[in-house]
Structure 1
Amino acid sequence: MENIGLALQLMVVGMVTVFIILMIVIQLGKWLIQIVNKVAPEETVAPKRKPAPGTATAIDAQTLAVIREAVSQITGGKGSVSKVERL
């Protein structure tokens, strides 16, 4: 009976220790996030460039036909291509 009492005591001490350590880790993580949000500058996203008006951005007929055929095969004839443009 003495061994069971010792085992239960060790189990409770271990579970409490793990719980306390996890609470410390969670709190430190929250503080780290707050500090980084205050200190680090926010990233700026570069705007997308639009092509010049005279630049040829059209896709040739052969490429367009291949794209349409691929979409048709993949979707079983249910899908269609409405617009194709270069990025």
Structure 2
Amino acid sequence: MENIGTGLMLMLVGMCTVFVILLIIIWLSNLLIKVVNKFAPPEEEVKRKPVATVAPLDDEAVKAINIAVDMITGGKGKVVDIEKLN
């Protein structure tokens, strides 16, 4: 019976130790985040390149894209913008 008590005490001490160490890691991480946010230069906004004018899609292509999106998403998707990728 003495071994069970010793085992339970060791388990409790180990779990408390892990919990405290994890709390310390969380506090130090939050401190690091605050320090970096305070002293780091702000990020520059990414400027998008102007999109070259391309020939507009014909109505059949737009209908085909809409039908494909409807089929894939089960009618829940909606085409907002169509843009040609390079």
Pairwise TM-score range, normalised by the shorter structure: 0.5 to 0.7
- What is the percentage of aligned positions where both structures have the same residue? 40
Structure 1: give runs of 5+ residues left out of the alignment. Answer: none
CA RMSD in angstroms, aligned pairs only: 3.1
2:55 is paired with a residue whose SS is coil
Which amino acid in the other structure matches residue 70 of structure 1? Answer: I
Instruction: State the number of aligned residues.
Output: 81
Structure 2: give runs of 5+ residues left out of the alignment. Answer: none
Higher relative contact order (CA 8 A, sep 6+): 1
CA contact 1:57–1:85 (8 Å) conserved in 2? no
* TM-score (normalizing by structure 1): 0.66
CA contact 1:68–1:80 (8 Å) conserved in 2? no
**Which protein has the larger Cα radius of gyration, Structure 1 or Structure 2?**
1
* TM-score (normalizing by structure 2): 0.66
